[in-house]
Amino acid sequence: MKKNKLLVESPFNFDLLGLIAPLKDYKMAWLINKCLGLELKKAKDFQMEFINKPTLIISQFILEKEHGFVQLLRNRSYPMGSQAGYLVPELKAMDYFLLFQDYTCEININTYIDTLSSLGSIQNVVKLDINKIKSRDNLLTY
């Protein structure tokens, strides 16, 4: 019997920042809101179910814009059972991901990187290339 494969290309039309900051998720969202002038709001936790792996429950904060969104995702899942998983397992060092989708070009990502880097609570801010992340499909939560 002939087998057919379905190949799905997902659009990754957003910018991605990786943040290293040992803060609680609500504190991180508050800090980003305060320093960047955003209004991220707590959204329902994102759940990813796998066949042979534990379910991931990821905390998320979202600011919906008319032409895009800003989203803060925690990398480490809430523990289910004995251990917690990661949204992007190959980047375990990252505590949070900040996604920017802006079709109006009103967001200047370099300004955001400079502002976040100047905060003492955030240890590191890195602009990530989405195409180099193996499990980038996990970031499509919106």
Task: Tell me what the mean pLDDT of segment 64-71 comes to.
Answer: 83
For residue 63, pLDDT over 80 is answered with yes
Q: How confident is the model at residue 61 (pLDDT cuts 50, 70, 90)?
A: very high
Quick one: pLDDT at residue 32? 92
Which positions ≥6 away from 136 have C-beta within 8 Å?
12, 88, 130
Left (φ > 0), alpha (ψ -120 to 50) or beta: where does 31 sit?
alpha
For residue 89, pLDDT over 70 is answered with yes
Please tell me the pTM assigned to this model.
0.81
Task: Tell me what the mean pLDDT of segment 114-122 comes to.
Answer: 88
Q: How confident is the model at residue 128 (pLDDT cuts 50, 70, 90)?
A: confident
